């Protein structure tokens, strides 16, 4: 089983690099986040032993347990909707929180990071598709949201994150991911800051996301196989 996982990891890395080159980008500018939610530690360790260091989790108690038993040089990413009562665990264990989707959550992260003496790296989650079922702020609210993030004393905002619509066509995916990139470019110019990270793309569409400028792609099933329940 672990052999299959490492082969799939190699395939994902190769395809991600090829997508970057095809888009005229440096493959080193794209990182694959191995989404390890519900995956046991042995499988994570197999990916780690293959040289991978960036993993994504969306359940904070699960993340804390895994972090306690896996190597310290793993870079953990919080990728799912984060409840305010789980912020302390997220800040304790996460190198980057991708899914900051409200001012209330932003301020909670800032407060907890201050208490823990940490500068927490985050991304602002944008709801580009306008779907009611998706978290994130609307495109037109991003400017005010970023301004609030910049004012936080214990937060470094590195960029934006979004999720595409399930089952979207290639054209729709290109539009969603391209819109996020355009929003990022506009915000950089408006605030005269760098927002280097764009977290977008998953197992079924990460190559399209890379073509549209993704720097972080969140890939789970294509590496670990079907989810364990």
With respect to residue 195, please indicate whether it lies within any of the assigned structural domains. yes
Rounded average pLDDT per 10-residue block, the chain, 229 residues? 89 98 98 96 96 97 97 97 96 98 97 98 93 86 97 98 93 97 98 98 97 98 82
What's the confidence (pLDDT) of residue 147? 98
Task: Indicate the DSSP class of residue 7.
Answer: H
Residue 86 within a domain: yes
User: What range defines the domain where residue 45 resides?
Assistant: 2-224
DSSP 115-146: HHT--EEEEEEEE-S--TTS-SEEGGGHHHHH
> Crossing angle, helix 41-49 and helix 2-22, to 10 degrees?
50
Three-state secondary structure call for residue 97: strand
C-alpha–C-alpha distance, residues 15 and 30, integer Å:
11
Helix axes 170-191, 142-151, angle to 10 degrees: 50
Give pLDDT, residue 135: 87
pLDDT of residue 148: 98
Number of neighbouring beta carbons within 10 Å of residue 76: 24
- Per the listing, tokens 């991600």 go with 16
Strands (E), 136-193: 137-138, 155-161
Tell whether 184 is covered by a domain.
Answer: yes
Q: Does 229 reside within a domain?
A: no
Quick check: 127 and 134 in contact, CB under 8 A? yes
For position 130, what pLDDT does the model report? 80
- Provide the CATH number for the domain around residue 147: 3.20.20.10
Domain count, the chain: 1
Residue 83 falls inside a structural domain? yes
Rounded CA-CA distance 29/197 in Å is 10
So what's the pLDDT on residue 228? Answer: 58
In a domain, 100, yes or no: yes
Q: What is the pTM (predicted TM-score) of this model? A: 0.95
Rounded CA gap, 150 and 25, in Å? 28
Distance CA 13, CA 102 (A): 32
């Amino acid at each position: 089983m672990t052999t299959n996982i490492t082969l799939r990891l190699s395939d994902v890395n190769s395809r991600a690099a090829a997508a970057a080159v095809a888009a005229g980008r440096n493959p080193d500018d794209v990182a694959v986040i191995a989404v390890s939610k519900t995956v046991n530690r042995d499988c994570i360790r197999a990916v780690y032993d293959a040289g991978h260091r960036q993993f994504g989790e969306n359940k904070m108690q699960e993340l804390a347990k895994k972090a306690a038993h896996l190597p310290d040089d793993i870079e953990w990413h919080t990728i799912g909707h984060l409840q305010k009562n789980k912020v302390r665990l997220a800040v304790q264990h996460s190198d980057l929180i991708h899914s900051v989707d409200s001012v209330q959550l932003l301020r909670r992260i800032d407060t907890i990071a201050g208490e823990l003496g940490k500068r927490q790296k985050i991304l602002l989650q944008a709801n580009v598709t306008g779907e009611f079922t998706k978290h994130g702020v609307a495109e037109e609210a991003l400017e005010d949201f970023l301004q609030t993030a910049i004012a936080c004393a214990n937060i470094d905002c590195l960029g934006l994150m979004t999720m595409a619509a399930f089952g979207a066509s290639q054209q729709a995916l290109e539009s969603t991911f391209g819109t996020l990139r355009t929003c990022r470019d506009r915000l950089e110019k408006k605030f005269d800051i760098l927002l280097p990270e764009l977290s977008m793309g998953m197992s079924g569409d990460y190559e399209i996301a890379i073509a549209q400028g993704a720097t972080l792609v969140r890939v789970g099933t294509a590496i670990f196989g079907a989810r364990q329940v």
